[in-house]
Structure 1
Amino acid sequence: MSTKQQPTSPGSEVDQRYAVYDERKRKRMISNRESARRSRMRKQQHLDVMVGQVSQLQNENNLLSQKIDNTNQLYLGVASENNVLRAQLAELTDRLRSLNSVLEIVSDVSGLVVDIPDIPDTLLEPWQLPCPIHPITASADMFQY
């Protein structure tokens, strides 16, 4: 005895189509949710990397600011010392001129010939100073980077 399959009724065919459509829709929703989850994960990882970079750049910026502050302090110290040296130079130049004036008067009054050297303009030509050359020393911490 053989059993024949009954032809499907039109109503059940529509139900199968809806079932297939619902299955596709369900799979698409699952796929979309998974894709959205991966996208959120990528976005979070990107955000974490960017936050790390911001932190690193802020640290580097702080270090550079400290180095700039240290360099400015060194510059102010050198500039201050330079101003003191310029004032001392001006004072010593005035003393030398006064002493040369006295020597000229003594030379004129006594009749003795005194060799009075000219005073160079040391601010314009510092390499022509009439004093011996002293080595310029620098410490290692003077040029911190």
Structure 2
Amino acid sequence: MASPQTQISSGSDGDLRYAKFDERKRKRMISNRESARRSRMKKQQRVDELFGEVNQLQNQNKVVMHKINEATDKFVAVATENNVLRAQMSELADRLYALNSVLSIVEEVSGLAMDIPQIPDTLMEPWQIPDALMEPWQQPIMASVDMFNC
């Protein structure tokens, strides 16, 4: 009868080992599930952070695009005004040249000495424009710290 008890004790030892193995397996499964849940939560948190960053960058992009559009509009307005002023300058230079011609004729005919204004070089030779009147792309670019403070 000793052997049936050994078998029973062996069987219960086997059951005990199987129960311990089953308990470890169950704990490992729970641990793995918990780890997977934490991993999914971290992944979702990272995705949410990235979406927030995307929204922030899109807003910054809108602000920059708005500033670019404003600067472009100002540039177009200034360029248009510059073209109008150049046309007026040319027209006035032609009128001044014509008036100076009339004054020269009057001076010759009357014999009176007249003070005939000289036509400025910038009107006669517009390619020699002073630095203050140069186009922005022709002037040297000077950077300062204040330029980058928005």
Q: TM-score, normalised by structure 1?
A: 0.75
Which structure carries more helix by proportion?
2
Return the offset for 1:21.
1.1
- What does the per-residue CA deviation read over 1:50-80, in whole Å, with 9 as the maximum and x for residues that have no partner? 1111112112211221221122112111111
Does the alignment pair 1:125 with 2:91?
no
In structure 2, C-alpha distance between the alignment counterparts of 1:126 and 1:28, rounded to whole Å = 80
In structure 2, runs of 5+ residues without a counterpart are: 133-149
Q: TM-score, normalised by structure 2?
A: 0.73
Return the offset for 1:35.
0.6
Return the offset for 1:11.
2.5
Return the offset for 1:126.
7.7
Residue type of the partner of 1:125? P
Residue type of the partner of 1:21? F
The equivalences for 1:1-145 within 5 A come to 9-122=9-122, 123=126, 124-125=129-130
> Greater shift after overlay, 18-27 or 116-125?
116-125
Number of residue equivalences: 123
- What does the per-residue CA deviation read over 1:99-129, in whole Å, with 9 as the maximum and x for residues that have no partner? 11111111122222222232113342387xx
In structure 1, C-alpha distance between the alignment counterparts of 2:54 and 2:11, rounded to whole Å = 63
3-state SS of 1:98 partner: helix
Could you say what the CA RMSD is over the residues aligned between the two structures, in angstroms? Answer: 2.0
In structure 1, runs of 5+ residues without a counterpart are: 1-5, 128-144
In structure 1, C-alpha distance between the alignment counterparts of 2:121 and 2:35, rounded to whole Å = 81
Higher relative contact order (CA 8 A, sep 6+): 1
